[in-house]
Amino acid sequence: MKNLRRKTLAAASAATLGVGLALSGGLAPAAAAGPDTSYLVLAPQGANTSKAAARVAAAKGTVVASYDQIGVLVVRSTNPDFATQVAGAGVESVASTAGLGTALDEGETVEVSAADVAAATDNPTTEPLYGQQWDMDMIHVPQAHAVNNGSPNVVVGVLDSGISSSHPDLATQIAKDKSTSCIGGVTNTTESAWNPTTSDHGTHVAGTIAAAVNGVGVTGIAPGVKVAAVKVVNDDGFIYPEAAVCGFLWAADHGMQLTNNSYFIDPWELNCRNDARQRPVWQAVQRAIRYSQSKGVLTVASAGNSNYDLAHKITDTASPNNGTPENRENLTNACLDLPAEAPGVVTVSAVGPTGEKSYYSSYGQGVVDVTAPGGDTRYRTQGVRSTTTDAILSTTFNTATRTNGWGYKQGTSMSGPHATGVAALALSAHPGMTPGQLASFLERTSVAQSCPAGVYNPVPLISPTDPDLYDATCSGGARNSFYGAGMVDAYNVVK
């Protein structure tokens, strides 16, 4: 068994301090204001939020977003006793989300130079950079496109850091009328709000799903479908629970059939239902996902990049990732990776160019549903150095120069959109499937991958002091802990 190892990019985040009232002679001092803090306030399941909203006002809070569909309010307050005072009839639970933003695990982008883009020709009937998209051949995208390359009636919500609306491979692919920012749990549909600001992660994800076949750059798995930018990552690179809840509900209420979620919620990769502080977050996210499922949305999520066996949770010594790590031992299955382990979610592990589990990919029997290309830049050298072209090539946006381009990333953040793109093709070829039917179809059409024998570690030289750092053991048969039901296959879902 392994302790949870986190490898994320973290950005510092500070709460905004509330401004105290100036005192004047003869007046009693005003109550001290605390930090301006966000809260999730949950009404009892099935109840409306009117009583909860009244209690919020009485406790000196302000409702900034009301999600009556699931009985959840997003609230801000400078009252240091807000959580205590809001409790009562009409409020099932409350949790501050301060400190609960998790850093997006986006890794490094290696851009393709302008000269290399200009020199790329490949097959003129496809895309100039297609020859570097080994992942597309692995899941039989060319064969699928000969049958069906996607329907514009299928809209995929990319819950991420925004999508560049000026990118030449994406400008025609974005459903602008269905795009929004959900930062702070509040929607903002202006185009600038849902474009990327400090991260190109969402732009890369969107390209894998639906980059246009237009003689420029790369191809997406389902270039005929549309993607919607649902921005849930703030400028510090954090994903807060209220933004994720907003994103799920926005997708559900705006006609999307799929959402791609290449992130996890909370600074702890494992969100424990039996933890008083984390339980309200778990409840709110679970309600949001259930609601989206009821509206016909299938949620696809990445398994994570910790090489962690999610089916055998033991100890977490490296979380939270935005503060001092705590030593949490004897964890149980009450602790979940959200949204990956929420019921009804399709969870995706990653493989490299050999089709074997990427060294970093988390796994778990009964947790991973399918696998897909996510890249593995270390397998050729057993971990000594990286081979960039073994990562995933897709669309990029340089946030420093504000320019569009193409580049490489790797991670389960990249394998998730491969599965989402294949699911979008499946819906295009077989419209009308419910989320459950689509998830089952995706698994049935996947190609089974066998477990490697013994202890698996393709990168024993990655750490001179710890050659066993990435050891992992696969369990199961045709459906197993590394690959679930198998490799997604674009041709199998459309033929």
Catalytic pick from 167, 201, 204, 418? Answer: 201
Start-to-end CA distance of the chain, whole Å, equals: 41
Q: Which helix (H) or strand (E) holds 392?
A: strand 392-398
Chain centroid, CA 185 distance in Å:
16
Active site residue 160: yes
Q: Out of 105, 160, 369, 376, which one is annotated catalytic?
A: 160
CA distances from 297 to 23, 227, 249 (A): 53, 14, 10
| Other beta carbons within 10 Å of 79 | 18
Is 235 labeled as catalytic in the residue annotation?
A: no
Tokens encoding 385 = 């150095």
Taking CA atoms, 136 is separated from 296, 353, 403, in Å, by: 27, 11, 25
262 assigned to active site = no
* 461-469, long-range: CB < 8 A, 24+ apart: 461/381, 461/382, 461/383, 461/384, 462/359, 462/378, 462/382, 462/383, 462/384, 463/383, 469/5
Coil, helix or strand at residue 158: strand
**For residue 280, cis peptide bond before it (omega within 30 degrees of 0):** no
CB 69, CB 8: distance < 8 Å: no
Which of 66, 181, 319, 413 is catalytic? The answer is 413
Instruction: With beta carbons less than 8 A apart as the criterion, state whether 377 and 390 touch.
Output: yes
Residues belonging to the active site: 160, 201, 413
